Amino acid sequence: MSGVIGGTGLGIAMITFIYSITNTSAAVTLLCLAAMPFFTALLGFLFLKEKISLNVWIAIFIATVGIIIIAIGNTEKNSLLGLIFGMTSSIGFSVFSVTLRWKKETPKFTTVAFAGLFCFVVAAIVILSNDMVFLSSSYNGALFSIHGTLVCMGLILYSIGSKAIPAAELTLLSLTEVIGGIFWVWVPILGINEIPSTNTIIGGFFLFMSIIYYSLTIKTNRRFIALN
């Protein structure tokens, strides 16, 4: 059961991530993922009966302020829709992380494989319902292969790491994607040169401050933080 729930959560996360990044800037989408540790802590509190300390609530509050600031700066229909999809993706990844810790005996590769199957079924339905074809150009096919390989390897390593590292700390480690992603889409040499808006930068600052505060809290009090 944990594999099905986790795989579904991961599948929804990957699908909504794509919809988010195509409806708003990469920075907004990635900063939504920065809220993962806090969603993970809340889910652990609700379903695994794990305690959440006052420090974690403070970090959640700071992150919420940042998300609100980003939302205020993305009031256009498509951009706001991208923000909503981004938050949904963040929750989906949190569900995946919690289920990895919920039933440790569940084969980790099974969860990732189920997520892949879930995405395939949804993608097939979308393609067929819109009278599109499954075939693509060789260039896009190569990009699909690279993307799929990197994502699959990352998720497998992430799942293996869940055996030794609490879910909340796992999601903290995964936030290197946020920093790296925002940097890569900004680098002019790549041809994207996407510059975040002022609200995104300010909101992102609040999110990163909450992450730093949360990281320091974990080091000083492991017993009551999230999913230990």
pLDDT over 60 (residue 221): no
> Residue 227's pLDDT band (boundaries 50, 70, 90)?
very low
pLDDT digit string, tens, across residues 62-83: 888 887 887 787 666 567 888 8
pLDDT at 228: 37
pLDDT at 129: 94
pLDDT at 192: 67
Report the pLDDT averaged over residues 22-47: 83
Higher pLDDT, 61 or 15: 15
pLDDT at 106: 66
User: What percentage of residues in the chain have a pLDDT greater than 90?
Assistant: 18
pLDDT digit string, tens, across residues 158-172: 777 766 666 666 666
Report the pLDDT averaged over residues 13-23: 92
Q: Note whether 34 and 175 are within 8 A (CB).
A: yes
Average pLDDT, the chain: 80
Q: Which of 55, 119, 45 minimizes the C-alpha distance to 89?
A: 119
Least confident window among 46-55, 152-161, 215-224: 215-224
pTM above 0.85, yes or no: no
**Interatomic CA distance for residues 174 and 125, integer angstroms:** 30
pLDDT at 224: 43
Higher pLDDT, 100 or 173: 100
**Interatomic CA distance for residues 156 and 162, integer angstroms:** 10
pLDDT at 217: 75
Of 102-111, 127-136, 178-187, 205-214, where does the model show the most confidence?
127-136
